[in-house]
Chains A and B, each alone.
Chain A
């Protein structure tokens, strides 16, 4: 499903030039659950952002579902994002002005889904994430665990083929963290590809495969222990 070859990303500031990704090659098949690990600053988030079409690489190729997208125009990236990719962030990133239900509904609106169908889908996913009773609350009125569940709900509401999660449990205690990991596993079992960045060996155990990065390079790939 995802194939990257010799991917490079260089950040240039006035004086320094940081090679955040250096010759990264990687393949992820449909239905896989992959964890990316590595020390801070090794380029995990950078890689994830490129995989999520939020950022452009400086070199190398990136094939997404059979098409080259490394330098696709913003319009096409937005279209691909809303159709195929769901994001979960460490800091939840919910829109404060929208209620739980409205947050979750948003991707469907951008997809142009009809109102009745939106209602049905939102209800279904909120129930699944066990935040249905909170549907009319605003994000700030929820606990961190609940917020992350809403974020996951929003990521999966349009049944994306790929879920990208950047330290999804980073701001959660262990029991809430485990819940989120369970959710991701369930989704993966239902057929969704999951790529997750994490610092936690415990979380990484949920994945089929672990990719270790160091200084912008893949140093090790191994299947789940």
Chain B
């Protein structure tokens, strides 16, 4: 019996190739999108799950309640770990990581490699994070201050495949002994790590380690089994209020600490500041899961829609089978096996597509996901279940409808009129509207995101970011003789100017207070501190709106002068740029020896606002001053031509000052492009989903149009016999669908407006909502819909009426 079913199914499939293709392609595409998203979501949910007892590990983070909207900080005072360990019996172990996002030069013999993500950690680190060792063991691995633990990749790049335990690795010039090598499976660890060194190696002053105001450590605590994290958190918050705050004299204490479960860190830290973890975003994960479910639903729905439309043409077959004596159950079984067959083909195709597209997704997400059915029986099980469930789900409705046909009726006329189809029309139309609304919504989003992204990349930032080589100084020799270094850089042919300082656009900047005496009061403002030299303004091409630049000829400029930006003029209450000139400002000098010394100076100039941070952040008041102790980074402005040889020249100068370490440079504009990576990805993602949504939407519409054309075949035939022209008939058939698209647009417009307004809100600097995007999206959807429906309509309208009428 099944042989007969499959035979008919197969012949139907082959006979209506285009139709079968569309139906299978639609479902396969939907399933592929679903599978890929599923893999991604699954992968995102796996972070830190591999760590034994990880469910008892928590990260301590704080909310800073001083700001209007509280901000969340990942790094906290070193005292949290100390306190938790000493005063909280339910805490089994703690571990701290110093926030230290610098790249260091690792040296083994002649091999010198810059390595990022070296962590300075408490020796208890492996007690909290029991990572697997390839060589050596966790016990005592970080006890000696000269210990270093490498990851497999780093160890291999220095020592090859051999066991390096006991060998020496230098960080710059300090020697360390390799105590262990971690296994390579750290892709699901929330921390990026290449090597670990005990905190003791940093020789941090004991007094500083006792400061509650020094927010510099990522702190983790593992609770004893059975301990209640919520209670511990409440206890810790109380402890801060009752025990710590009263002891703070000068410094303000606005910490409100929280415990974050280890396994939440990856997905739930999107808004955390100064966080160095590998971040995912639960919002995206949820949105993607939703989209996946939605795509699957739509794909199944379209599948049903097409199958039902198709079934109209099989009414006669059903009638005959029933006349011969087929029972309803037998017919349902037949149609169900047909859809299961179609689904099976789609699933196989989707599996193939997923395997083909996974490398691209891996490249896009930077993940290493695998789709190995043989090694992952669970995945295979999911696919089988998916086939059966989708097949049954998709086949059930058409089977129900078809098997309910009355043979007397369907055999009487070749075409079925209304009946049950009429009753579910609102559902049919409703779903088409939803699909098109989604398409229109996505088209608008794609356009808006595209516009904003190009705005981000191209906006005039108020300074000249082209052809600026950018690198940190390295080695004592270079830092100590930075002036000679700068002079020699300037001699290189092709170099326009060079500036050394701390606080370049696109790089780290420091925030600090500035004191402004106003009406006898000492007002303290939070500002950005840019530590600059005499060449900063001209190297970056900043414009002065009042006053003058720092000058090396005026002795007082070094210790008694500030330049501020326009925003500072406003925020510090100076009135106009001209009025700001000459105003006194005081700054608490960065100095370990003399923490109380004040630098007092006058405002000598005001620069036009420039964007030293990403366009996410609103411009802050900025204070520029000469402060050589903080000098660290170098910006070298090159001429437009012969960049290659200019870079060579800079490298040679570098070599004269530091032959030990190779130079590691980038261009300033790359820093900026990198800031918007997430947006670039969002853009790609949106285009893809928009494409899928439109395709899937068209499929649904196509199914509906086929159905309508089929249903009205006879009517059309008669109209033509009576003299109706092709265009009239096309219009007759298309009208209703264009109306659906119109309704879809009406739903999509406000939704897209809302979503995109909110998205744009995140950017301090953004485009105006492009209204034309709405028109364009609506028009595009209408055109696509018209082409889809029009195809069916034209086909129906140009068909020979005699064939349709003779079908009786």
The answer on a CB contact under 8 Å between B317 and A95 is yes
**Which one, A104-112, A179-187, A191-199, A214-222, is touching chain B?**
A104-112
Q: A54-B407, A78-B327 are in contact. Are A97 and B4 (CB under 8 A)?
A: no
Q: A49-B408, A54-B407 are in contact. Are A82 and B324 (CB under 8 A)?
A: yes
Residue numbers in B under 8 Å from A130 (CB-CB): none
The answer on a CB contact under 8 Å between B320 and A109 is no
Q: Does B15 contact A (CB under 8 A)?
A: yes
Q: Which 4 interchain pairs have the tightest Cβ spacing?
A: A82-B325, A81-B325, A97-B11, A78-B327
The answer on a CB contact under 8 Å between B4 and A78 is no
Q: Does B560 contact A (CB under 8 A)?
A: no
- Interface residue from B324, B411, B808 paired with A106 (Cβ < 8 Å): B324
Q: A74-B328, A89-B411, A91-B808 are in contact. Are A97 and B323 (CB under 8 A)?
A: no
The answer on a CB contact under 8 Å between A81 and B408 is no
Contact residues, A83-107 vs B (CB, 8 A): 83, 85, 87, 89, 91, 93-98, 102, 105-107
The answer on a CB contact under 8 Å between A107 and B411 is no
How far, in whole Å, are A211 and B368 apart by their CA atoms in the complex? 82
The answer on a CB contact under 8 Å between B323 and A52 is yes
Q: Does B319 contact A (CB under 8 A)?
A: yes
Residue numbers in A under 8 Å from B322 (CB-CB): 54, 78
Q: How would residues 540 to 563 of chain B score, 1 for a CB under 8 Å from any chain A CB and 0 otherwise? A: 000000000000000000000000
* CB of A163, distance to nearest CB on chain B (Å): 12
Residue in B closest to A78 when the chains form the complex, CB atoms: B327
Extra pairs beyond A93-B316, A93-B320, A102-B7 (17, CB < 8 Å): A55-B406, A74-B327, A81-B325, A83-B325, A89-B411, A91-B808, A94-B320, A95-B316, A97-B15, A98-B11, A106-B4, A106-B324, A107-B325, A109-B4, A110-B325, A110-B326, A111-B325
- Interface residue from A49, A89, A96, A110 paired with B330 (Cβ < 8 Å): A110
Residue numbers in B under 8 Å from A97 (CB-CB): 8, 11-12, 15, 317
Q: A49-B408, A95-B317, A102-B4 are in contact. Are A107 and B324 (CB under 8 A)?
A: yes
How far, in whole Å, are A81 and B408 apart by their CA atoms in the complex? 14
Q: Does A79 contact B (CB under 8 A)?
A: yes
Q: Does B1 contact A (CB under 8 A)?
A: yes
How far, in whole Å, are A74 and B404 apart by their CA atoms in the complex? 11
The answer on a CB contact under 8 Å between A93 and B319 is yes
Residue numbers in A under 8 Å from B406 (CB-CB): 54-55
Residue in B closest to A112 when the chains form the complex, CB atoms: B1
Residue numbers in A under 8 Å from B321 (CB-CB): 95, 106, 110
| 19 A-B pairs whose Cβ atoms sit less than 8 Å apart in the complex | A54-B322, A54-B323, A74-B328, A75-B327, A75-B328, A78-B322, A78-B326, A79-B325, A93-B323, A95-B8, A95-B316, A97-B12, A102-B7, A105-B4, A106-B324, A110-B321, A110-B327, A110-B330, A154-B324
* CB of A167, distance to nearest CB on chain B (Å): 13
Q: Is the interface of A mostly helix, strand, loop or mixed?
A: helix
The answer on a CB contact under 8 Å between B320 and A95 is yes
Residue in A closest to B4 when the chains form the complex, CB atoms: A109
* CB of A66, distance to nearest CB on chain B (Å): 20
* CB of A97, distance to nearest CB on chain B (Å): 5
Residue numbers in A under 8 Å from B7 (CB-CB): 98, 102
How far, in whole Å, are A52 and B808 apart by their CA atoms in the complex? 21
Residue numbers in A under 8 Å from B324 (CB-CB): 81-82, 87, 106-107, 110, 154
Contact residues, B1-29 vs A (CB, 8 A): 1, 4, 7-8, 11-12, 15
How far, in whole Å, are A89 and B15 apart by their CA atoms in the complex? 26
Residue in B closest to A154 when the chains form the complex, CB atoms: B324
* CB of A124, distance to nearest CB on chain B (Å): 18
How far, in whole Å, are A39 and B407 apart by their CA atoms in the complex? 24
Residue numbers in A under 8 Å from B330 (CB-CB): 110
Residue numbers in B under 8 Å from A74 (CB-CB): 327-328
Q: What total of chain B residues lie within 8 Å of the partner, measured CB to CB?
A: 25
Q: How would residues 64 to 76 of chain A score, 1 for a CB under 8 Å from any chain B CB and 0 otherwise? A: 0000000000110
A interface list, Cβ under 8 A from B: 49, 52, 54-55, 74-75, 78-79, 81-83, 85, 87, 89, 91, 93-98, 102, 105-107, 109-111, 154
How far, in whole Å, are A19 and B319 apart by their CA atoms in the complex? 24
* CB of B61, distance to nearest CB on chain A (Å): 66
Residue numbers in B under 8 Å from A55 (CB-CB): 406, 408
How far, in whole Å, are A196 and B12 apart by their CA atoms in the complex? 34
How far, in whole Å, are A97 and B322 apart by their CA atoms in the complex? 16
* CB of A30, distance to nearest CB on chain B (Å): 20
Residue numbers in B under 8 Å from A49 (CB-CB): 408
Residue numbers in A under 8 Å from B411 (CB-CB): 89, 91, 93
* CB of B198, distance to nearest CB on chain A (Å): 77
Residue numbers in B under 8 Å from A89 (CB-CB): 411
Residue numbers in B under 8 Å from A82 (CB-CB): 324-326
* CB of B510, distance to nearest CB on chain A (Å): 78
* CB of B171, distance to nearest CB on chain A (Å): 76
Residue numbers in B under 8 Å from A154 (CB-CB): 324
Residue in B closest to A98 when the chains form the complex, CB atoms: B8
Residue numbers in A under 8 Å from B323 (CB-CB): 52, 54, 81, 87, 93
Residue numbers in B under 8 Å from A109 (CB-CB): 1, 4
* CB of B323, distance to nearest CB on chain A (Å): 5
Q: How would residues 128 to 160 of chain B score, 1 for a CB under 8 Å from any chain A CB and 0 otherwise? A: 000000000000000000000000000000000
Residue numbers in B under 8 Å from A93 (CB-CB): 316, 319-320, 323, 411
How far, in whole Å, are A74 and B322 apart by their CA atoms in the complex? 10
Residue numbers in B under 8 Å from A79 (CB-CB): 325, 327
Of B319, B324, B326, B411, the most chain A CB neighbours within 10 A belong to B324
Residue numbers in A under 8 Å from B328 (CB-CB): 74-75, 78
How far, in whole Å, are A183 and B116 apart by their CA atoms in the complex? 93
How far, in whole Å, are A55 and B15 apart by their CA atoms in the complex? 33
Contact residues, B459-479 vs A (CB, 8 A): none
* CB of A14, distance to nearest CB on chain B (Å): 13
* CB of B337, distance to nearest CB on chain A (Å): 14
Residue in A closest to B12 when the chains form the complex, CB atoms: A97
How far, in whole Å, are A111 and B317 apart by their CA atoms in the complex? 18
How far, in whole Å, are A202 and B93 apart by their CA atoms in the complex? 105
Of B317, B323, B408, B808, the most chain A CB neighbours within 10 A belong to B323
* CB of A49, distance to nearest CB on chain B (Å): 5
How far, in whole Å, are A81 and B319 apart by their CA atoms in the complex? 13
How far, in whole Å, are A93 and B411 apart by their CA atoms in the complex? 8
How far, in whole Å, are A78 and B330 apart by their CA atoms in the complex? 11
Residue in B closest to A85 when the chains form the complex, CB atoms: B325
Residue numbers in B under 8 Å from A94 (CB-CB): 320
Residue numbers in B under 8 Å from A85 (CB-CB): 325
* CB of B1, distance to nearest CB on chain A (Å): 6
* CB of B495, distance to nearest CB on chain A (Å): 80
Residue in B closest to A160 when the chains form the complex, CB atoms: B325
The answer on a CB contact under 8 Å between B15 and A78 is no
How far, in whole Å, are A107 and B321 apart by their CA atoms in the complex? 8
Residue numbers in A under 8 Å from B317 (CB-CB): 95-97
Residue in A closest to B5 when the chains form the complex, CB atoms: A109
How far, in whole Å, are A95 and B4 apart by their CA atoms in the complex? 12
Residue numbers in B under 8 Å from A54 (CB-CB): 322-323, 406-408
Residue numbers in B under 8 Å from A95 (CB-CB): 8, 316-317, 320-321
* CB of B808, distance to nearest CB on chain A (Å): 7
How far, in whole Å, are A111 and B327 apart by their CA atoms in the complex? 11
- Interface residue from A78, A96, A98, A102 paired with B325 (Cβ < 8 Å): A78
Q: How would residues 302 to 324 of chain B score, 1 for a CB under 8 Å from any chain A CB and 0 otherwise? A: 00000000000000110111111
How far, in whole Å, are A89 and B408 apart by their CA atoms in the complex? 11
Of B4, B7, B322, B325, the most chain A CB neighbours within 10 A belong to B325
* CB of A222, distance to nearest CB on chain B (Å): 29
Q: How would residues 275 to 319 of chain B score, 1 for a CB under 8 Å from any chain A CB and 0 otherwise? A: 000000000000000000000000000000000000000001101
Of A74, A85, A89, A93, the most chain B CB neighbours within 10 A belong to A93
How far, in whole Å, are A82 and B327 apart by their CA atoms in the complex? 9
Residue numbers in B under 8 Å from A111 (CB-CB): 325
How far, in whole Å, are A52 and B407 apart by their CA atoms in the complex? 11
Residue in A closest to B407 when the chains form the complex, CB atoms: A54
Residue in B closest to A166 when the chains form the complex, CB atoms: B411
